[in-house]
Amino acid sequence: MIHFAWPWSFALIVLPWLVHRFVPPALAAEEAALWVPTLEPFSAVQHQRSHRRDRRWRLWLSILCWLLLVGASARPQWLGEAVELPLSGRDLLLAVDLSGSMQTEDFQLGNRMVDRLTALKVVADDFIEERVGDRLGLILFGEQAYVQTPLTLDRKTVKQLLNEAVIGLAGDKTAIGDAIGLAVKRFESDEERQRVLILLTDGANTAGQISPLKAAELAAERGLKIYTIGIGAEAMEVRSLLFSRTVNPSADLDEKSLTAIADKTGGRYFRARNTEQLADIYALLDQLEPVEREKDLYRPVTELYPWPLGTALLLSLLLLAEPLLLGRSRS
């Protein structure tokens, strides 16, 4: 169906008539001229009749141009068939650790070793792409926690901003409690949607104003479910000048606190020691049951105003060119 976004513009249709009716006409040049007896008026009778026909034709063409301009100013739009948006009713926040330890290269992608944040980005891209219908948000935390992306249906933007995150952007320490507290604040405005926080870290809480367990209690009171993911390998070869030795790069990972955070909020703790396990965890998270709610309807809108506007432009060019064409034909 056709819809006009600015229908009040049709009030301008009567503007030319109002000008013609109430604005006094300018004095014609021939009224001030000195008339001299001559036979020219008799020879120009036929020309005047033709001129009247030309004026009538130009008048109707001008009226049509004005109607087209008014119609374009009303912004005609074509509303397509209503489309149901697949909304699950879930708000999902990703809280990603950017502390210095995330640069440890103990994850493998293909045939090369990469740092933990790089592996996280690659796996999370597919997870985010599958979250059709969920509102997604992104929290980045280190020594400080901040919202990088507010809750949105724009998955492309969330992926882009996650991929642009760099290690150390929020400081070298880890404020897990502040990240959870910030998530609780972001969810306070909506009481009806299911709320989920996925927190990914490779260490323990070493900074911040609030303890992780206290933040988890606040989250449980607000109905926020937290899934925690501890990332990092348990064995890594470190080469020196003379020999190599095996170390545990995840020695600082506080699995006890992460498990307690998940248990307090009705979530679950996962351990990702390599890229494959991280992908499997995301696959499990992808099976969260959505909250049923009424579907939103969306009508695709196509702007139609360029058509009447372009037609009016062509007709006005024709009006401007017509005197020139007549002058050439008479010469």
CA 74, 75, 80 angle in degrees (round to 5)?
130
What is the spatial distance between Cα 175 and Cα 306, in angstroms, rounded to a whole number? 54
Residue 225 near residue 266, CB atoms below 8 Å: yes
What is the spatial distance between Cα 188 and Cα 192, in angstroms, rounded to a whole number? 10
- Exposed (0-12), middle (13-18) or buried (19+): which is 330, by Cβ within 10 Å? exposed
Q: Which H or E run includes 128?
A: helix 116-129
Q: What tens digit of pLDDT does each residue of 218-238 get? A: 999 988 999 999 988 887 776
Spell out the domains of the chain, with CATH numbers in brackets: 2-80+301-330 (no CATH), 85-285 (3.40.50.410)
Q: What is the pLDDT of residue 34?
A: 47
Strands 244-247 and 194-201: unpaired
Of 232, 172, 222, 174, the C-alpha closest to 196 is: 222
Residue 71 near residue 63, CB atoms below 8 Å: no
Q: What is the pLDDT of residue 22?
A: 84
Q: What tens digit of pLDDT does each residue of 235-250 get? A: 777 676 666 777 777 8
Secondary-structure percent of the chain, ordered helix, strand, coil, rounded to 5:
45, 20, 35
As a whole-number percent, the residues of the chain with pLDDT over 90 amount to 30
Of 116, 161, 156, 119, the C-alpha closest to 138 is: 161
Q: What is the pLDDT of residue 29?
A: 46
Q: Which residues pair with 198 in a beta bridge?
A: 94, 227
Residue 109 near residue 177, CB atoms below 8 Å: no
Range 100-129 average pLDDT: 87
Check whether 88 has a pLDDT greater than 70.
Answer: no
What is the spatial distance between Cα 220 and Cα 122, in angstroms, rounded to a whole number? 30
Check whether 138 has a pLDDT greater than 60.
Answer: yes
Q: Which of 60-64, 111-115, 257-261, 284-288 has the highest mean pLDDT?
A: 257-261
Lowest mean per-residue pLDDT among 97-101, 184-188, 219-223, 293-297: 293-297
Check whether 135 has a pLDDT greater than 80.
Answer: yes
Average pLDDT across the chain, whole number: 81
Q: Which of 79-88, 94-103, 130-139 has the highest mean pLDDT?
A: 94-103
Q: What is the pLDDT of residue 157?
A: 93
Q: What is the pLDDT of residue 324?
A: 64
Q: Which is more confident, 263 or 40?
A: 263
Q: What is the pLDDT of residue 291?
A: 45
Q: What is the pLDDT of residue 89?
A: 61
Q: What tens digit of pLDDT does each residue of 35-45 get? A: 455 545 545 54
pTM of the model: 0.61
Which positions ≥6 away from 71 have C-beta within 8 Å?
A: 10, 305, 308
Q: Which H or E run includes 107?
A: strand 107-109
Q: Which is more confident, 7 or 56?
A: 7
